[in-house]
Every structure is written in structure tokens, then in C-alpha cells.
Amino acid sequence: MTRTKKQGFTLIELLIVIAIIGLLATLAIVSLTSAQQRARDTKRVADVKAMQTAMELYWNETASYPAVTGASTWTTLQSDLSSFISAMPVDPTHPTDVYFYGVASNATADEYLQEYVVGATIENDQHQGLAQDVDGNAGTIAADYNKLTSTSVVTTGAAVSCADPIYCLSGVATP
């Protein structure tokens, strides 16, 4: 009697193939998530640099930086800077938070200085941009900032923290 060999895959072979496919899919998802995080952080850094450029252009035209008062909102800041930036940045994952702007003034006997700081919270605390920003508490001329967040929360007379993972850029000028 001749035996015919069955053709097809055994259950063990199928389970091994399914496990390998699952492992490869997991690796692809982890890699994609990391790449997306880097892309969001790069956008945040570019947004902060664009805000810094807008602040400097505003200074060149008005000899001051935009004021932050109790009535300030992110929309009023956008209105102030509308000639210099097309739209205020919105965070890719948290559209109602993350970005901030602070301004401080210091009058001495010899001169009047004004300083600003702009920043955003970065997801990856190892991002390369964090090595090139302002760290610690921002403020070389004053510790009392009037700060406005992208959620339009105003804090007056406080230090602005730029400790990593917060990416900050600042500028100082004399009118």
C-alpha cells in the first residue's frame, strides 16, 4: 500500500510564521513612532525659531517687544506679530498647550533693557536642539517675566524655566 504525502503546512509551521510576522510588525510600529516623535520635535524647534525671528522683526519696527498683560491671549500676540509671522505655532500633538512667550524689562541708571524668551516643550529630552538653546531659568536682565502660554494663561512676575526638555531662545535689546 502506498502512502500519499499530504501537502500543506503543519500547525507549528503556521504558528512560527505568524509569530515572525507579529515581531516584524511590532518593530516597524516602534520605529515609526520614534520617527514621528523626532518629526514633531523638529517642528517645535522650527516654530520657536520662527517666533524668535518674528520677535526680532517686531523689535526692528517698534523698538520694543510685544507686551504681556493680564488681558493678553495667544490670539492678541498673533495679532501683534501678524506682519512678521503668518500664524502662531500650534503643537502637533497638544494643540492647546506647549508654546510660550515671556517678556521682561529692567531699567537701570544707565539704560533700559528689554528681554524676551520663546519656547516649547520637547517630547524627547535627548533632542539635538536642546544642546543649543537657553537652559536653566531664562533671564539675564530680570527674573520677573510676564509669560503667556499658547493656552492664553498669563503669569506675571515669575521666572521662566528653560530646563530640558524645554527648548528656549531669547533676545535682549536696548531701545
- pLDDT tens column, 72-122: 888 888 899 999 998 888 887 876 667 888 888 776 655 677 888 898 888
Model pTM score: 0.77
> In the 8-state DSSP scheme, what is residue 122?
-
Q: What is the mean pLDDT of the chain?
A: 83
Residue 165, preceding peptide bond in cis (omega within 30° of 0):
yes
Query: From the CB of residue 114, how many other CB atoms can be counted at a distance below 10 Å?
Result: 21
Render 78-116 in DSSP notation, one character per residue. Answer: HHHTTTT-SS----SS-TTSS-EEEEEEEE-SS-EEEEE
CB 21 within 8 A of CB 143: no
**pLDDT for 175 beyond 80:** no
All three cell numbers of 133, joined, read 538653546
